[in-house]
Chains A and B, each alone.
Chain A
């Protein structure tokens, strides 16, 4: 089996799983309970909080959530609602993940004005356009670090300094795809709120966090027992927080080593597809180390996915979330690609545990499986 869908989710690290099981079995008390068992659980959560914050290089505050979608919802709605008296203008990009984009669409219905920054052919926004979009009324800017479909890397450091210099807006960054692959320093990049999801870096599903690097209050989106400083009610997932902190440690400690390895693999695949007449590489060069979007314009992306699956190779059409929907990828559309290219698109996403040898095998499988499919198509076209 060759798993090449690591932007959809990753295999949990055994060490992370071990911590998760141990905490679940031994420290199952509710962290909000007064007794010793509760206290022990609370102590673990606080250690996880401190530890998680330390891997983000800053003095900010960690709020544990159920994952990237919840974190994005909380950050964007939470700040938009709390800052509404200051202005009603918001900025984001048109290649965000749906858990950002849909929230902005919803806020538009509630009366906010939203500027969607376009991207160039590499999938990157322009700082000049951001600068001219910033207004006195702008209260929130949300920009993803690494795009999940094509791997384009946004200049968040520059964006942060423009935002901080020109406005009082809160800067939110969805770093779900970049953590563990690219270094992130929220302090340096002027980031006020950052979204992470553990299962994208060998942690577990259902665990995520939002890192708050500002004193600005935000409105809770989940009401109840006021856990997590009143920002996220619901019994705190003790084992989840510990496991996430551990996954963050492992990802951070090995970042440089993993990054080099991922880049090697990605470039090997890029070189391969560039020799293949039927394929077209969509990701620009020198973007995220682990994502390569490719298209076979003569085939549908899902045909490629299923054909390779028969040989035990797992990858996605543009993104796992949207691949079950029939509508076209908004990210690929934003790049200005033709319909055929968009229809034929698929995404390979690597992990540090995929070896170069595995990728050589992938090349063989491709050569064996894909060309015969094209024969039929070409004949039909003639």
Chain B
């Protein structure tokens, strides 16, 4: 059913004390962003909830679908506007209940009166509207404690507002309120999920991918672009930095003993990510590491790798099981793309028996024979950056005319 307004409940933001206004205006901005191609909307934001007024009620459905992934929204309800004439309120009430009739049979009216001059009081409103709905919609039973359909009627100075449906929001914090961090995005299952988890906490992300042609194919690069595009659905757009990594990887393989190449590779990646982070003004680095999942993700490995940087490294999946990660990946839509079988730079140079307990002194010693600083600088300089949005499907668009 078309709605004139949408009521948005913040959830966690409303507990944020002095910063609340900043959170709310960021949420307004993010909502505006995600609705930017639709008719303009008007905001009326209070301490615990916000109303958006739609100029075109026929856009209700698409607005609802756009609001669902926006972080910082606990839940929201489409609201129908009626005049203060009781007959109009009753008629709108019946229409609204009919539109959510499939939710169940247990029904309740909850009237509220902000306009105390309204001739009917709350109890009278409940009775009048409730009995009218019961007479005009088949099969409803009144249930006060756990109704399937709760019709909320709010009488205000200017009009009466009705809603009957609460839609679950994405929760979390508005993206942007948590500053910015750089996500190391490999193309596997974990890193997109890690990025999503941090975005959910309000962090804006930029992604960094290491590309080793010809050892990794363009397909692998394309896959990472697609993953970035999927993630950008939560924030509007994400910048992807693609680092040419072949030379460094080859140098490591010439210089470092095989069982330490993986450790050394990770250290170089982290150093490069840190440089890019500085350039882009990020405050932290995000990885998809999960403790014990592979050789580089033991505590000993992390110690040896992490030693190259004092930047905070956020590992939202550190205690997650693979099955949990897969569940989230499916939910956010990255799973199908992540499992495409293209080699990335992590898999292609994997030694047969990597050290699970590398020693920091050893890896530092092996690396000391080459001036990696120069190579790192070069890689950072040659990094290509691209802004991706959810509509990224350049190739397919070109092909569409053929069909």
Q: Give residues in A with beta carbon < 8 Å to B.
A: 19, 22-23, 34, 36, 39-40, 43-44, 47-48, 51, 242, 245-246, 249
Q: Which one of B219, B395, B403 contacts A19 once the chains associate, using CB atoms below 8 Å?
A: B403
- Cα separation A47 to B399 with both chains bound (whole Å): 9
Checking A34, A39, A44, A249 against B399 with a beta-carbon cut-off of 8 angstroms, the contacting residue is A44
Q: Does B217 contact A (CB under 8 A)?
A: yes
Chain B residues at the A interface, C-beta cutoff of 8 Å: 217-219, 395-396, 399, 402-403
Residues of A within 8 A of B403 (CB): 19, 47-48, 51, 242, 245-246, 249
Q: Is A36 a contact of B402 with CB atoms below 8 Å?
A: no
Residues in B neighbouring A22, C-beta threshold 8 A: 402
Contact in complex: A242, B402 (CB < 8 Å): yes
Find chain A residues with CB under 8 A from B396 CB.
Answer: 43, 47
Give the residue of A39, A48, A245 whose beta carbon is less than 8 angstroms from that of B218: A39
- Closest B residue to A51 by beta carbon equals B403
A246 and B402 in contact, given A43-B396, A47-B396 (Cβ under 8 angstroms): yes
Residue of B nearest to A52 (CB): B403
Q: Using CB atoms, name the residue of chain A closest to B400.
A: A47
Contact of A43 with B395 at beta-carbon distance under 8 Å, contacts A23-B402, A48-B403, A51-B403 already known: yes
Q: Hey, which chain B residues are within 8 Å of A48, CB to CB?
A: 403
Which residues in A have their C-beta under 8 angstroms from that of B395?
A: 40, 43
B218, B402, B403 pick with most chain A CB within 10 angstroms: B402
Q: Which residue of B lies closest to A23 (CB)?
A: B402
Interface of A is mostly: helix
Q: In the complex, which residue of chain A has the Cβ closest to the Cβ of B401?
A: A19
CA distance A115 to B403 in the complex (A): 41
Name the residue on B nearest A246 (C-beta): B403
| Chain A residues whose C-beta falls within 8 Å of the C-beta of B399 in the assembled complex | 43-44, 47
Can you add 8 more A-B contacts, CB < 8 Å, to A34-B217, A47-B396, A48-B403? A19-B402, A19-B403, A39-B218, A39-B219, A43-B395, A43-B396, A44-B402, A249-B403
List the B side residues contacting A47 at CB < 8 Å: 396, 399, 403
Residues of chain A within 8 A (CB-CB) of B219 are 39
**What separation, in Å, do the CA atoms of A40 and B219 have in the docked complex?**
10
- Residues in B neighbouring A36, C-beta threshold 8 A: 218
Q: List 23 A-B contacts (CB under 8 A).
A: A19-B402, A22-B402, A34-B217, A36-B218, A39-B218, A39-B219, A40-B395, A43-B395, A43-B396, A43-B399, A44-B399, A44-B402, A47-B396, A47-B399, A47-B403, A48-B403, A51-B403, A242-B402, A242-B403, A245-B403, A246-B402, A246-B403, A249-B403
**Interface centre among B218, B396, B403, by most A CB within 10 Å?**
B403
Q: How far is the CA of A48 from the CA of B395 in the complex (A)?
A: 14
Q: Which residue, A34, A40, A47, A51, has most C-beta atoms of chain B within 10 A?
A: A47
CB contacts (< 8 Å) of A34 on chain B: these are: 217
The distance from the CB of B219 to the nearest CB of chain A, in whole angstroms, is 6
Q: Which residues of B contact A19 (CB under 8 A)?
A: 402-403
**With the chains together, A214 CA to B344 CA distance in Å?**
34
Q: Which residue of A lies closest to B219 (CB)?
A: A39
- Whole-angstrom distance between the alpha carbons of A259 and B184 in the complex? 56
B contact residues around A51 at 8 Å (CB): 403
| Closest partner residue, chain B, to A34 (CB atom) | B217
Cβ distance A34 to chain B, nearest Cβ, rounded Å: 7
The docked-state distance in angstroms from the alpha carbon of A284 to that of B318 is: 71
- Nearest CB of B to A30, in Å: 15
A117 to B219, CA, bound (A): 52
8 shortest interchain CB distances as A-B pairs? A19-B402, A51-B403, A242-B402, A246-B403, A245-B403, A36-B218, A39-B219, A47-B399
Nearest to B402 among chain A residues (CB) is A19
Chain B residues whose C-beta falls within 8 Å of the C-beta of A23 in the assembled complex: 402
Complex Cα distance, B396 from A249, in Å, reads 17
Q: How far is the CA of A44 from the CA of B398 in the complex (A)?
A: 11
Report Cα–Cα, A40/B399, bound state, in Å. Answer: 10
Give A273 to B254 CA distance when docked, in angstroms: 87
Alpha-carbon distance A245/B399, docked complex (angstroms): 13
Q: How far is the CA of A224 from the CA of B240 in the complex (A)?
A: 41
Most buried by A among B217, B395, B396, B399: B399
Chain A proximity of B176: nearest CB distance (Å) = 35
A48 to B403, CA, bound (A): 8
Task: Give the residue name and chain of the A residue nearest to B395 (CB).
Answer: A43
CA distance A44 to B395 in the complex (A): 10
Q: How far is the CA of A40 from the CA of B218 in the complex (A)?
A: 11
Closest chain A CB from B386 CB (angstroms): 18
The complex places the Cα of A249 from the Cα of B401 at a distance, in Å, of: 12
Q: How far is the CB of B214 from chain A (nearest CB, A)?
A: 10
Looking at the assembled complex, report how far the CB atom of A213 sits from the nearest CB atom of chain B, in whole angstroms: 21
User: In the complex the two chains form, what is the Cα distance from A34 to B214 in whole Å?
Assistant: 12
Q: Taking the nearest CB of chain A, how far is it from the CB of B228, in angstroms?
A: 19
Q: What is the distance, in angstroms, from A382's C-beta to the closest C-beta of chain B?
A: 62
Complex contacts, A43 vs chain B, CB 8 Å: 395-396, 399
Chain A residues with CB under 8 Å of B402's CB are 19, 22-23, 44, 242, 246
Cα distance A245–B217 when bound, in Å? Answer: 29
Chain A hits for B218, CB < 8 A? 36, 39
* Across-interface contacts of B217 in A (CB, < 8 A): 34
Chain B residues closer than 8 Å to A44, beta-carbon distance: 399, 402
**Complex alpha-carbon distance, A22 and B401, angstroms:** 11
* B240 shortest CB reach to chain A, Å: 20
A23 to B402, CA, bound (A): 8
Residues from chain B with Cβ under 8 Å of A246 in the complex: 402-403
CA distance A302 to B402 in the complex (A): 41
Once bound together, how far apart are the Cα atoms of A47 and B402, in whole Å? 10
Q: How far is the CB of A15 from chain B (nearest CB, A)?
A: 10
- Give the shortest distance, in Å, between B273 (CB) and chain A (any CB): 28
B341 nearest CB across to chain A (Å): 12
Smallest beta-carbon distance A320→chain B, Å: 29
Nearest to A39 among chain B residues (CB) is B219
A40 to B403, CA, bound (A): 15
In the complex, what distance in Å separates the CA atom of A19 from the CA atom of B218?
A: 26
Beta-carbon nearest neighbor of B218 in chain A: A36
Closest chain B residue to A242 by CB distance? B402
Shortest Cβ distance from A22 into B: residue: B402
Measured in the bound complex, the distance between the Cα atoms of B213 and A36 in whole Å is 13
**Cα separation A39 to B219 with both chains bound (whole Å):** 8
Compute how far the CA of A40 lies from the CA of B396 in the bound complex, rounded to whole angstroms.
10
Q: How far is the CA of A237 from the CA of B21 in the complex (A)?
A: 60
A243 to chain B: closest residue by CB: B402
In the complex, what residue of chain A is closest to B396 when comparing beta carbons?
A47
Q: How distant is A78 from chain B, measured CB to nearest CB, in Å?
A: 27
Task: Give A19 to B399 CA distance when docked, in angstroms.
Answer: 10
Residue of B nearest to A40 (CB): B395
Task: Give A22 to B219 CA distance when docked, in angstroms.
Answer: 23
